[in-house]
Amino acid sequence: MDSDLINVYLVEWLARERGNEVRARAAREALAHALRPAQQPLRVHLSSGVRKIGRLLLAQVHRGADQRRCIAHMRQTPASR
């Protein structure tokens, strides 16, 4: 009879310990999740990429325009030698 009481007590104690472990792990995971930076939506990443591509293309166009302007200027001015 005493062994049955001890086993019930042991099972209850093990259940409480396991519950405490589960709650502690959940608290750690919640803290880790709260400390992670918020992930930006996909539309933010896409618009950022589109802007970068636009700037790259615009820079190439301006670079080409500057070269054309420089060549045209060189053709208009007589060489002073």
Break the chain into its structural domains and give their ranges. 1-36, 42-81
- Name the pTM for this structure: 0.43
pLDDT, residue 81, reads 43
CA dihedral 68, 71, 76, 77 (to 10 degrees): 140
Give the pLDDT score at 28: 97
| pLDDT value for 74 | 62
Digitized pLDDT (tens) for each residue of the chain, 81 residues in all: 567 777 888 999 999 999 999 999 999 999 999 998 888 888 988 999 999 988 888 887 777 766 666 666 666 766 544
pLDDT at 60: 79
Distance CA 13, CA 21 (A): 12
**81 DSSP 8-state letter:** -
